[in-house]
Amino acid sequence: MTIARRIQQRLTNSNDPRSLSARARAKRWDELMRRFPALDSMRVLDLGGMPDFWRKSTVRPAHVTTVNLLTADTEEAWMEHVVSDACAPEGLSDEKFDLVVSNSLLEHVGGYARRRQLAEVIHGYAERHWVQTPYRYFPIEPHWAFPGLQFLPVSARAAAVRKWPLGHAAIKGKDESTDAVLATELLSLTEMRLLFPSSDIWHERAAGLTKSLVAVRS
Is 180 in contact with 199 (CB distance < 8 Å)?
Answer: no
Residue 38 has pLDDT above 60, yes or no: yes
The single-letter DSSP state of residue 61 is -
Q: Rounded to an integer, what distance in angstroms lies between the CA atom of residue 81 and that of residue 65?
A: 6
In sign, the C-alpha dihedral spanning 195, 196, 200, 203 is negative
Residue 17 has pLDDT above 90, yes or no: no
Per-residue pLDDT at 19 exceeds 80? no
Predicted local confidence at residue 122, as pLDDT: 98
DSSP code for 145:
T
| pTM recorded for the entire structure | 0.90
| pLDDT for residue 14 | 57
**pLDDT (0 to 100) of residue 76:** 95
Report whether pLDDT(5) > 70: no
Q: Where are the domains of the chain?
A: 3-143+187-217, 151-183
> Residue 67: pLDDT band by 50, 70, 90 thresholds?
very high
Confidence grade of residue 144 (pLDDT, cut at 50, 70, 90): very high
Least confident piece of the model among 10-24, 55-69, 75-89, 204-218: 10-24
CA distance 41 to 92: 20
Distances from the Cα of 190 to the Cαs of 30, 52, 146, 194, 201, in angstroms? 25, 32, 23, 6, 11
Q: Looking at the predicted structure, is the pLDDT value of residue 12 above 60?
A: no
d(CA 11, CA 62): 33
Beta bridge partners of 133: 213
What is the percent of the chain where pLDDT is above 90? Answer: 80
Q: Where are the alpha helices (DSSP H) in the chain?
A: 3-12, 20-35, 51-55, 112-125, 154-163, 174-182, 189-195
Q: Give the H or E element holding residue 45.
A: strand 43-47
Domain 3-143+187-217 in CATH 1.50.10.100? The answer is: no
pLDDT of residue 96: 87
Overall average pLDDT of the 82-97 stretch = 90
Residues facing residue 212 across a β-bridge: 134, 204
Q: State whether residue 150 is helix, strand or coil.
A: helix
Cα separation of 71 and 66, whole Å? Answer: 10
Tell me what the mean pLDDT of segment 124-135 comes to.
97
Mean pLDDT of 199-218: 96
Average pLDDT in the 178-204 region?
Answer: 97
Better-scored residue on pLDDT, 10 or 66: 66
Q: What is the model's pLDDT at position 172? A: 82
Burial (CB count <10 Å: 0-12, 13-18, 19+), residue 50? middle
How much of the chain, in percent, has pLDDT values that exceed 70?
89
